[in-house]
Amino acid sequence: MIRILIGSILGGLAQWVIGAIAWIFFADGSVVKSLDDGGNATLQAALAATLTPTGTGTYFIPHSPTAQGAIQMGKGPVAMIFFNTNGFPTFDMTSILTGLVLSIVMLFLVGVALTQVDGIAARIKVTLLFAAATLLYFVLSLPVYNFYMPWGWWVFLAAEEAVAFGAGAYILIRWFMPPTPPGPTLH
C-alpha cells in the first residue's frame, strides 16, 4: 500500500501540473469568453440587482415552466448562471491545494482497485475504459441533456481531464503498482 500511496502522490502531482497548464494556456480565450471592463461592470450590476435578493445559487434564465418562460426560452438569449453574492480573490491557493489532495486521493482509490487486476497492460486498459466511461457520463452528458449549453467548454474539460488523469494513472500503474495482485485476479 505504501508504494500505491507514493505513486498516488506523484501521479496526483503530474495530474495537477497538466491541469494547471491546460487552464493557464488553453482555457482563457478559447473556451471561456470574457467581456471588457465596462461590459463586466454592467452585467455585474444587473446580476447584483436581480439575483442578490434570491441569493447564491444556480439560475436557469429564463425559467420555462410557464407559457411566458417557454416563449422566452425559444427566443433567447438563454443562460445558466452560477451566482454567488460574495466576492472572491482572482487566485485562491486553497482551491489549488484542495485540487491536489483530491487528485492524490482519487489516484489512491484507483490504485487500490487495480490491485485486483493482473498485469500492467490490463490495468492500463481497465483504467482507460473506466476513464472514458466516466468522462462520457459525468462531463460530456451535460451538454447532451442540457442542449442549450455550448459544447466547447465541455469538450475542453473532458480532454483536459482525460490527459491529466491518463498521465497520473500511468505513473501510478507503471512504476508503483506491484506486477501481480496478491490474491485472485480479474481477467
Could you tell me the residue ranges of all domains in the chain? 2-50+91-176
DSSP character at residue 181? -
pLDDT at residue 179 above 90? Answer: no
Which of 115, 138, 126 is closest to 166 using CA atoms? 126
The 10 Å Cβ neighbour count of residue 92 is 10
- CA dist 100 and 166 (Å) reads 15
* Confidence at residue 121, expressed as pLDDT on a 0 to 100 scale: 93
CB neighbours of 110 closer than 8 A, spacing ≥ 6?
8, 127, 169, 172
Look up residue 9 and give its three cell numbers.
Answer: 502522490
CA geometry: angle 28, 63, 35, nearest 5 deg:
25
- 3-class DSSP state for residue 79? strand
Report the chain's mean pLDDT, rounded to a whole number: 90
Q: Report the DSSP beta bridge partners of residue 80.
A: 60
- 3-class DSSP state for residue 119? coil
CA terminus-to-terminus distance, the chain: 22
* Confidence at residue 186, expressed as pLDDT on a 0 to 100 scale: 60
pLDDT at residue 148 above 90? Answer: no
pTM assigned to the model: 0.82
The letter for the amino acid at 24 is I
**Each residue's pLDDT tens digit, 25-71:** 877 767 888 899 999 999 999 999 999 999 999 998 998 788 998 99
